[in-house]
């Protein structure tokens, strides 16, 4: 944890976690809706929505971890993404689903969780000041 992160108030830390969680929920919702988009080129389906969604999850979590200065905010954003993907994977009241059975749906259902674990568990690099000392 950096020195600046240690000086933040409790309210500031809670606010950061709440905002990170909300951003994760919003991104997870939008990406779940768009993960089924695909291009048909020469009879081959290219799932660009799935690729963009997974790359976006990784970018969101890595960016949150770098900007917020620790694992806590990245964990909150990951909880938002993984939680909303899990909720939107369930059948709705009429039986309709946003995450359909198949390879693309299965990858979308587990991909954000795997990316979240990797980003949050990745070891922290020492700061420049620590390397110079």
Average confidence score pLDDT of the chain: 89
Q: What is the mean pLDDT of residues 69-90?
A: 94
The arithmetic mean of pLDDT across residues 76-84, rounded, is 97
Residue 98 pLDDT level (bands cut at 50, 70, 90):
confident
The bridge status of strand 39-41 relative to strand 44-46 is antiparallel
Question: 45 has which bridge partners?
Answer: 40
For the chain, which residues make up each domain, given as ranges? 24-34+47-122
CA distance 102 to 50: 13
Which tokens is 109 given? 């259902």
Residue 24 DSSP one-character state: H
Lowest mean pLDDT segment, chosen from 8-17, 45-54, 75-84: 8-17
Q: Is 111 exposed, middle or buried (0-12, 13-18, 19+ CB in 10 A)?
A: middle
Q: What are phi and psi of 47, to 5 degrees?
A: -80, 75
**Distance of alpha carbon 96 from alpha carbon 72, whole angstroms:** 34
Strand partners, 39: 46
Residues 48-73 have pLDDT tens digits of 999 999 999 999 999 999 998 789 99
Both tokens of 5, joined, read: 């992160």
SS3 assignment, position 125: coil
The answer on pLDDT for 5 being more than 60 is no
């Amino acid at each position: 944890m950096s020195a600046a992160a240690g000086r933040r108030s409790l309210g500031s830390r809670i606010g950061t976690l709440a905002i990170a969680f909300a951003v994760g929920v919003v991104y997870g919702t939008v990406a779940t809706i768009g993960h089924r988009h695909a291009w048909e080129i020469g009879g081959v389906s290219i799932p660009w929505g799935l690729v963009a969604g997974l790359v976006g999850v990784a970018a969101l979590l890595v960016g949150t971890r770098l900007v917020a200065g620790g694992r806590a905010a990245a964990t909150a954003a990951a909880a938002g993404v993984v939680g909303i993907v899990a909720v939107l994977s369930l059948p709705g009241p009429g039986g309709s689903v946003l995450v359909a059975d198949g390879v693309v749906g299965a990858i979308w259902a587990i991909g954000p969780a795997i990316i979240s674990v990797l980003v949050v568990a990745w070891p922290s690099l020492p700061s420049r000041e620590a390397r110079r000392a």
